[in-house]
Structure 1
Amino acid sequence: MGREHHARLRAATGATAFLALAFAFALLLLTSVPAGAGSDGSDRGDGSDGWRTAASRAVRAHEQARAQVDRLREADARPTRIKDAERRRKTLRSDLWDRLWAAERASGDPVAVDPSGRDGHCPFGNRSRPPATGDEQRTRPWTTPTRGYRLTAGYAAKGSRWAHRHTGQDFAVDSGTPVYAVGAGTVHATTCGDGFGNQVLIRHGDGYFTQYAHLSRIDVRKGTRVTAGQRIGLSGTSGNVTGPHLHFEVRITPYIGSAVAPLPWLRRKAVDATAAAP
């Protein structure tokens, strides 16, 4: 009976220690993660430079690793070298993903807590269909996210509406302008209710995510497979905006803090969004 009592006491003590450790970690996370988003959700911090700096360094490390993989493939390096470099890139992305998911879930980011948009009662339209067989977009593996646009605020731009830097590329268009998937992929999230307003995130075959924000209507659902040029919604003025436009972003993970420059990323796909808008 004495041994059983001591065993139970040790188990209870261990459980208490575990709960205390978990609580301390959660408290640390909540006090170091931002409370609100800046314009376009570009700032998730409340002055925590350390949080932003760590995420920026992780993003740079990932992009350097990705560039190394590309160089090895172009040089026709040994498969083992390419495999090792790709494994390192994926490890960097996985670590960044885990950290940002925890931070965004704690801060209430809809992408982390309500990726289907059901709780937010997002404005869903009828489900869209891939472009028709004869449509020119059907033959292109990658395309621009909208048509008839004017490029305005760019990636890393400074402005009074952003606490820090702009995290995407803005395409100025009238409200109700069709917005298209830039490439084939799977809809990862369809959310609403924060600074991005109504938004869609798509995961592509290369592992990157594209975000389409400030929509007036969403025409796809989480889990839907889409093709390049397929309409995913309509542009609008939802969220933190001063006028109608599409906020387009490219991310390493689905979460804020992992954005990369979108126009160079599109150029790697043979899409020049700076040319005369189609």
Structure 2
Amino acid sequence: MRREHRTGLQSLPTGSARSARSAFLLALFLVLLLALLVVPAAVPSGTASAAVVSGAADGDGWFRKATARAVRAHERARARVDRLREADARPPKIEAAEERRMAIRAGLWDLLWAVERNVGDPVAVDPSGRAGHCPVPTRSHAQQHQRHQRSPKKKTRTMQRTKPRTLKTPQDLKKPQTVQVPQATQVPKTPQTPHRPWTAPTRGYWLSAGFAAQGSRWAHRHTGQDFAVGAGTPVYAVGPGTVRATTCGDGFGNQVVVRHPDGYFTQYAHLSHIDVRKGGHVSAGQRIGLSGATGNVTGPHLHFEVRITPYMGSAVPPLPWLRRKDVQVIH
């Protein structure tokens, strides 16, 4: 599906000249970005998506810089919405700020979708992983694994010793007997599922390559946070959401992309095993796979990324994003 966002440019607030100017500038910006699609059209489908995002199509990195500006504009708009909500601003003001944020996100989404689909990014062309024969579990296996994680462990009953009964003597029968009135039986309450807090994507890790790190291993900058763990370490969804993609075959190897209620996406890459399927619902702390060394890697680790859209080119710093969810990652 091309668009999953709800708001386009037409939903921007038009009640003031300032809003109209912002909408015009945003539309002009998106037109310039879409003009770049003429250049990537000649790129072979097997070319890595990182080459397009890093500016290889135009040589000077203009495309990459333009998408980076759009990401920064979205994060400023998101921060403004958060400030207005914390200040208990009037609803129309909050709605106008949120519409502007959604418009920026919609333009970035459409642009990256077109580029990534053109270069053959699996998240854009094969989000279920079926065409690439990715190691995705069958539906029955995924449901069974999910029930196994949710079902509580049965407690074993222990037999308690009872005191031996003693026969009553005639003297005991003469003593006044106290009658115990039975208490009204209470209907047991249905236990509610506790709300799981957001969590780190794995355990027993140490942080290796961080966000925006530079080096010969990346086309431009590192777009996520690497968690150094051994192969086969469980990988968990950091929060509740819906599985957007389970793919393989590119530099990220076996990967899972999850969409969360706040609209952001998290990516878990280089997995050796995938436990979930596209369209499935996950909870915070639910195991979604095992770490590995698939794709373009130098050793086993988990590549964790936070994105505004499902596609490469919209990443934001993951550790500050996790801190906003009250997740403290140990350095």
Judge same fold: TM > 0.5, yes or no.
Answer: yes
Q: Which residue of 2 aligns with 1:215?
A: 271
Q: Which residue of 2 aligns with 1:7?
A: none
- Indicate conservation of the 8 Å contact 2:202/2:233, yes or no: yes
SS of aligned partner of 2:93: helix
Q: Which residue of 1 aligns with 2:17?
A: none
| TM-aligned CA deviation for residue 56 of structure 1 | 0.1
CA distance in 2, matches of 1:82, 1:248: 31
Unaligned 5+ segments in structure 1 are 1-23
| Structure 1 counterpart of 2:118, from 91, 106, 127 | 106
CA change 1:219–1:84 in 2 (3 A) is: same
- Indicate conservation of the 8 Å contact 1:37/1:195, yes or no: no
Q: Which residue of 2 aligns with 1:64?
A: 76
CA distance in 2, matches of 1:82, 1:33: 44
1:234 partner letter: L
Q: Which residue of 1 aligns with 2:305?
A: 249
Higher relative contact order (CA 8 A, sep 6+): 1
Q: Which residue of 2 aligns with 1:79?
A: 91
What percent identity do the matched residue pairs reach?
A: 67
| Structure 1 counterpart of 2:259, from 203, 210, 218 | 203
SS of aligned partner of 2:85: helix
| Structure 2 counterpart of 1:193, from 238, 249, 274 | 249
CA RMSD after TM alignment: 2.4
| TM-aligned CA deviation for residue 31 of structure 1 | 4.5
Q: Which residue of 2 aligns with 1:15?
A: none
CA change 1:253–1:26 in 2 (3 A) is: closer
1:156 and 2:212 aligned: yes
| TM-aligned CA deviation for residue 104 of structure 1 | 0.2
SS of aligned partner of 1:193: coil
1:61 partner letter: A
1:30 partner letter: A
1:129 and 2:146 aligned: yes
CA change 1:266–1:133 in 2 (3 A) is: farther
CA distance in 1, matches of 2:118, 2:131: 17
| TM-aligned CA deviation for residue 262 of structure 1 | 0.2
Deviations along 1:206-240, one digit per CA (max 9) or x if unpaired, are 00000000000111000001100111111000000
| TM-aligned CA deviation for residue 28 of structure 1 | 3.2
1:60 partner letter: R
Q: TM-score, normalised by structure 2?
A: 0.71
Q: Which residue of 1 aligns with 2:228?
A: 172
CA distance in 1, matches of 2:106, 2:225: 25
| Structure 2 counterpart of 1:36, from 41, 48, 51 | 48
Question: Comparing both structures, which one devotes a greater share of its residues to strand?
Answer: 1
CA distance in 2, matches of 1:138, 1:199: 29
SS of aligned partner of 1:215: strand
| TM-aligned CA deviation for residue 36 of structure 1 | 2.0
Higher Cα radius of gyration = 2
| Structure 2 counterpart of 1:53, from 62, 65, 70 | 65
CA distance in 2, matches of 1:242, 1:43: 22
Q: TM-score, normalised by structure 1?
A: 0.83
Unaligned 5+ segments in structure 2 are 1-34, 154-192
